[in-house]
């Protein structure tokens, strides 16, 4: 379906969980595909355990499943929304872990219809970045992540559960409960986007029905009837204020889809 639509010139938008993505208020033209492929297989090798997961698998749900089996590697991801595919593309991370540290290889659908496996080294991983994300930011549909194989390690299930509980408690303390698109900006080298936004006096700053969270300044929350137009205006204001006051150019971590 995706290949046929693309070949016919129909715009295609491919989504997993939809986190870290801003979609225009008027919607998007063409075909929107929600990936609901959620199969996964655990290889319980005594020395080199792995998990193969389709791109539509919930990242946090997979982390919880592995923890119950005494498998570590994704424990840091227990509080992260979204899917394996999106996490692979954006190099999702938290609590000192990230996808770059566990991805072994990724199965990709290419524009010519070929399906190929590529090693993690070919993804050019960086902080909240990959070659795949660069393609999405540039507006390219392909390559599309179909599945990934992740390296794991054995651990104590009870200890992993305690660690996961601590991560979840930390998230509840430090991140807003209101609807949001997630962390808006990448942390600049040697600093934190949230600290800079807070220092610029923007906590609570509101445009329409979206606002900078009082809990964590790197989150823009929806107060009820917020729009993407409001969010984009607020993002521009934040970037301008931080640049004016600190000389730092904040870069978006989220992906903004433009019609």
Strand partners, 154: 71
Q: What whole-number distance in Å separates Cα of residue 49 and Cα of residue 46? A: 7
Options 130, 183, 213, 241, the catalytic residue: 183
Cβ neighbors of 232 (< 8 A, separation 6 or more) are 22, 256
Which pairing describes strands 21-22 and 255-256: parallel, antiparallel, or unpaired? Answer: parallel
- 128: annotated active-site residue: yes
Compute the residue count for the chain.
259
Options 128, 180, 213, 241, the catalytic residue: 128
Cα distances (angstroms) measured from residue 79 to each of 34, 210, 228, 229: 21, 23, 25, 28
- 38: annotated active-site residue: no
Nearest to 31 by CA among 57, 58, 8, 11: 11
- 50: annotated active-site residue: no
Q: Which class for 121: exposed (0-12), middle (13-18), buried (19 or more C-beta within 10 A)?
A: exposed
Q: What whole-number distance in Å separates Cα of residue 238 and Cα of residue 3? A: 39
Which pairing describes strands 12-15 and 31-34: parallel, antiparallel, or unpaired? Answer: parallel
As annotated, the active-site residues are 128, 183, 253
């Amino acid at each position: 379906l995706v290949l046929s639509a693309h070949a016919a010139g129909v715009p295609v938008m491919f989504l997993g969980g939809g986190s870290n993505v801003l979609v225009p208020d008027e919607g998007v033209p063409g075909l929107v595909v929600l990936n609901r492929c959620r199969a996964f297989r655990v290889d319980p090798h005594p020395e080199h355990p792995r998990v193969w997961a389709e791109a539509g698998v919930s990242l946090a749900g997979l982390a919880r499943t592995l923890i119950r089996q005494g498998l570590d590697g994704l424990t840091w991801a227990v509080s992260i929304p979204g899917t394996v595919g999106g996490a692979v593309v954006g190099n999702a991370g938290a609590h000192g872990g990230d996808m770059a540290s566990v991805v072994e290889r990724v199965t990709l659908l290419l524009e010519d219809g070929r399906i190929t496996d590529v090693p993690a080294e070919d993804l050019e991983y960086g902080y909240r970045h990959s070659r795949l994300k660069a393609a999405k930011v540039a507006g390219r549909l392909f390559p599309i992540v179909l599945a990934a194989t992740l390296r794991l390690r054995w651990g104590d299930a009870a200890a992993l559960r305690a660690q996961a509980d601590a991560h979840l408690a930390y998230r509840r303390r430090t991140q807003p409960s209101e609807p949001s698109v997630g962390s808006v900006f990448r942390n600049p080298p040697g600093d934190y986007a949230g600290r800079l936004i807070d220092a610029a006096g923007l906590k609570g700053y509101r445009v329409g029905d979206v606002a900078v969270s009082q809990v964590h300044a790197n989150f823009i929350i929806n107060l009820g009837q917020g729009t993407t137009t409001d969010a984009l205006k607020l993002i521009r204001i934040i970037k301008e204020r931080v640049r004016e006051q600190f000389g730092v150019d904040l870069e978006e971590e989220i992906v903004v889809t433009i019609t």
